[in-house]
Structure 1
Amino acid sequence: MEKAKISVIQLFSLLFLFEMGSALVVSYGINAKKDAWLAILLAMCGGIILSFIYYFLFRQYPNLPLTGYARKILGKYVGWIVGLLYVVFFLYGASRNVRDFGDLLLSSTMSETPLLALNILFVLAICYVLYLGIEVLGRTAEVFIVILILFGIVGNFFVYLSGNVDLNNLKPFLENGWKPILMTVPITTFFPFGEIVAFTMLLPYLNRHELVKKVWLSSVISSGLILSYTTSLDIAVLGVEATERATFPLLSTIGKVNLFEFIQRLDALVVFSFLITMFFKTSIFLYSTVIGIVDLFKLKNHQQIIFPIGLILIFLSMTNASDFSEHVEEGLEIIMYPLYIPLFVIIPLFMLLVAMIRNGFKKKNRNNET
């Protein structure tokens, strides 16, 4: 791992931007219909539980990334395979985010631009920042989280000023009962809250390990509240049916703003917000991939493999689905449970139990010796 340190504020910024990701602009939690906001809040609680699992693992081995302590806990060979599984998942997650970014730009502003060209430029920018190191990425996140918040304030101001918000679209509460909400919660928990497992590769860089829990909880809660609010706003402006149909409902919501036939076409706010969140989410996934490969294969530094991995990332982003609808179906129906449950819940929980039992025996033996 590179000799670098990131501050608490930088870690919070990275976590917050990561969790926003594509969830900010897609129909997040809409399977729960008008109660999508409640499904997201319950998913946030699930995200807090997952955070504690990852946090307690980190506390057992505060100076090692996930690929490192997997070998410590599960043994040299099994742990290496488990670490490789996570590395492959991080790379796959990065490729899905690159595809999301390219498809939104194609559908909103650059319809004549080849998808490949957009993806290449996006990945090259990410590779350049990661080549400079995690500290540069952390400092960049500090700046862009402020810009994202300003975009959010301006966008909300104009949406409310335009008079398009109808809170009746959110009524009645629990119209379809609890079943659709509870069916939606696992999906909204794993995406995006479960994906913060990628940060188990970055936590050793934090300069104040004792504040990890506070930073992690505050980022999960703040992002969960904002995602819940954003989905509610989409439904209040568009109605639940239009929100379900829309590929990127936030884009449609802000597109309805038209004040005095002068202030309109504010789609750029959403596109720029999406660019910011996806840049950092993809960067974290790609950096976790690179650090995992460096750790598993005992390489000297991360810089030598960033651009080759970037080329693989571009290839995967173009080939993981033939079109956007297939891309979404793959994410929500095909890989959700077979991939996410083992990687986000079963393996981390099993490693935590083994680590706690093993460390408990070590402490007991030390006490007996003294």
Structure 2
Amino acid sequence: MKAKKLQIKQLFYLMILFQLGTIGLNLGTEAGKDAWISLIIGMLEGAILFSVYYLIHKRYNYKTYTCILQAAFGRYIGISITFLSCAYFLYLGSRVTRDLAEILTLHILYETPIWSIIISFLCVTSYAAYKGLLPVANAGRICLHLFAFFILSFIVLVFLSGIFHVENILPSLQYGWRPILQNFLPMMIPYGESIIFLILFPYITEKKQIFVKGIMSILISGSILSITTLLNIGILGDLVTKHFDFPLLLSTSLIRIGTFIQRLEPLGIILLIIGVFFKVFLFQYSAILSIASFFSKKYFYAILCTTFVLMSLLGIFMANQNINHIFIGLKIVPYYLHIPFQIILPITLLILSFFCKNIDWEN
């Protein structure tokens, strides 16, 4: 099964929306008032990681991720790592879906079972995968403009309503650089997830522009995440922002201008759902694309249905309550999954690329 070719601008839209899938979460808040600085550093780390991913793609002759793994590690080990990577992508997609379900049940859909939200949402992403990458990429342009409109509206309304307090973000670097540098790994992870684009790079028509557009997408999304975090801290204070699972929702609920602009929680929910949709879709579609490369086209829909079932079960049963879900995401997943797949594996591939010469790509 082959994906249709994408234009570089479509990849650009998808990368920004993918990285904004974490906009509602309290990223970097361990650094207190300096969380927004921590996110800027994370953005620079993400640019370095993306450079590694692009170099891998370039040095392996712009081939697919599955071909790269087999070229570097041999056929059987490469195929095994491919399936492990697919399992990793499906697990991350399930985690993000569970994050969304937890937030919705805690804040707006109080009586709705988590399992129904997870299954309903994955039905939407699975249908999008059924339609293919190109229609979703085209929709990404519309959604990105919508996202930008809502973000700008949020920023303007925050200052018009007078709920931003400069004293909440001062003094900067009150405890020095140590709290910020302690967030070195967590801030890198959202950008490290962009490794899934190694699967999509071969389907981009303007390959020479991939690096520039990729770095631009990281700088834009990183700036948006930093600004929203800065605004959340200025509105809520660093302690509330740190301990509230969806600070953007609380910030939007405090916006009041006269008697006609208030209770703007739907603004935060819309931003969250747009970002999460593209993030989960890309995780799921990348896994489907990788698995389908080993089978004939007729098995595509069977693979699609299988990923839907697996992600639904993972999302529902990965944790029995929210506190366990958060603990696993913060203390276990980064060290046992993110570091191996986002850092160790790509660096190993890049090193091996200097020894993988004269490869017979046809075989």
- Fold match by TM threshold 0.5: yes
> 1:40, 1:227 within 8 Å by CA — same for their partners in 2?
yes
Partner of 2:140: 141
1:123, distance to aligned residue in structure 2 (A): 0.7
Partner of 2:290: 292
1:307, distance to aligned residue in structure 2 (A): 2.0
1:3, distance to aligned residue in structure 2 (A): 4.4
Report the Cα distance in structure 2 between the residues aligned to 1:341 and 1:116, rounded to whole angstroms. Answer: 29
- TM-score normalized by structure 2? 0.95
Report the Cα distance in structure 2 between the residues aligned to 1:270 and 1:187, rounded to whole angstroms. Answer: 23
2:353 counterpart SS class: helix
1:347, distance to aligned residue in structure 2 (A): 1.1
1:84, distance to aligned residue in structure 2 (A): 1.4
- TM-score normalized by structure 1? 0.94
Which amino acid in the other structure matches residue 59 of structure 1?
A: K
Give matches, 1:220-299, under 5 Å: 220-297=218-295
Question: CA offsets, 1:120-159, max 9 Å, x none?
Answer: 1111111111111111111111111111111111122211
Question: CA offsets, 1:168-223, max 9 Å, x none?
Answer: 11111111111111011211111x10100111111111111111101110011111
Corresponding position: 1:24 with 2:39: no
Report the Cα distance in structure 2 between the residues aligned to 1:164 and 1:42, rounded to whole angstroms. Answer: 27
1:300, distance to aligned residue in structure 2 (A): 4.7
1:99, distance to aligned residue in structure 2 (A): 0.5
Shift in alpha-carbon separation, 1:105–1:260, aligned structure 2, 3 A: same
1:2, distance to aligned residue in structure 2 (A): 1.8
Which amino acid in the other structure matches residue 71 of structure 2?
A: K
Question: CA offsets, 1:79-123, max 9 Å, x none?
Answer: 112111111100000100111111122122211111111111111
Shift in alpha-carbon separation, 1:263–1:217, aligned structure 2, 3 A: same
Off by >6 Å, runs of 4+ in structure 1: none
Partner of 2:93: 94
Partner of 2:84: 85
1:358 counterpart SS class: coil
Which amino acid in the other structure matches residue 208 of structure 2?
A: E
Report the Cα distance in structure 2 between the residues aligned to 1:136 and 1:63, rounded to whole angstroms. Answer: 24
Shift in alpha-carbon separation, 1:114–1:312, aligned structure 2, 3 A: same
1:297, distance to aligned residue in structure 2 (A): 4.9
Partner of 1:353: 351
Report the Cα distance in structure 2 between the residues aligned to 1:15 and 1:309, rounded to whole angstroms. Answer: 22
Report the Cα distance in structure 2 between the residues aligned to 1:30 and 1:266, rounded to whole angstroms. Answer: 23
Report the Cα distance in structure 2 between the residues aligned to 1:201 and 1:300, rounded to whole angstroms. Answer: 20
Percent of aligned pairs sharing the same letter: 31
> 1:84, 1:296 within 8 Å by CA — same for their partners in 2?
no
Question: CA offsets, 1:338-362, max 9 Å, x none?
Answer: 2211111111111111112333xx4
Question: CA offsets, 1:215-239, max 9 Å, x none?
Answer: 1100111111111111111000000
1:63, distance to aligned residue in structure 2 (A): 4.6
2:111 counterpart SS class: coil
Report the Cα distance in structure 2 between the residues aligned to 1:46 and 1:18, rounded to whole angstroms. Answer: 17
1:27 counterpart SS class: coil
> 1:40, 1:185 within 8 Å by CA — same for their partners in 2?
no
Query: Which of 305, 312, 333 is matched with 1:307 structurally?
Result: 305
1:299, distance to aligned residue in structure 2 (A): 5.7
Partner of 1:14: 14
> 1:294, 1:300 within 8 Å by CA — same for their partners in 2?
no
> 1:127, 1:310 within 8 Å by CA — same for their partners in 2?
yes
1:335 counterpart SS class: helix
Corresponding position: 1:334 with 2:321: no
Report the Cα distance in structure 2 between the residues aligned to 1:145 and 1:356, rounded to whole angstroms. Answer: 38
User: Comparing 208-217 with 321-330, which one deviates more in the overlay?
Assistant: 321-330
Partner of 1:366: none
Question: CA offsets, 1:244-299, max 9 Å, x none?
Answer: 11110011111111222331110001101111100000000000111121124566
Aligned residue-pair number: 359
Report the Cα distance in structure 2 between the residues aligned to 1:302 and 1:60, rounded to whole angstroms. Answer: 29
Report the Cα distance in structure 1 between the residues aligned to 2:171 and 2:247, rounded to whole angstroms. Answer: 21
Partner of 1:368: none
> 2:60, 2:353 within 8 Å by CA — same for their partners in 1?
no
Question: CA offsets, 1:36-76, max 9 Å, x none?
Answer: 11111111111111101110111123553222210111101
Report the Cα distance in structure 2 between the residues aligned to 1:210 and 1:76, rounded to whole angstroms. Answer: 29
Partner of 1:5: 5
Report the Cα distance in structure 2 between the residues aligned to 1:98 and 1:281, rounded to whole angstroms. Answer: 9
Which amino acid in the other structure matches residue 19 of structure 2?
A: E
Which amino acid in the other structure matches residue 173 of structure 1?
A: S
1:155 counterpart SS class: helix
Name structure 2 gaps, 5 residues minimum: none
Report the Cα distance in structure 2 between the residues aligned to 1:46 and 1:53, rounded to whole angstroms. Answer: 11
Which amino acid in the other structure matches residue 342 of structure 2?
A: F
1:301, distance to aligned residue in structure 2 (A): 5.3
Shift in alpha-carbon separation, 1:280–1:59, aligned structure 2, 3 A: same
Report the Cα distance in structure 2 between the residues aligned to 1:346 and 1:275, rounded to whole angstroms. Answer: 31
Partner of 1:343: 341
Corresponding position: 1:213 with 2:211: yes
Partner of 1:367: none
Partner of 2:172: 173
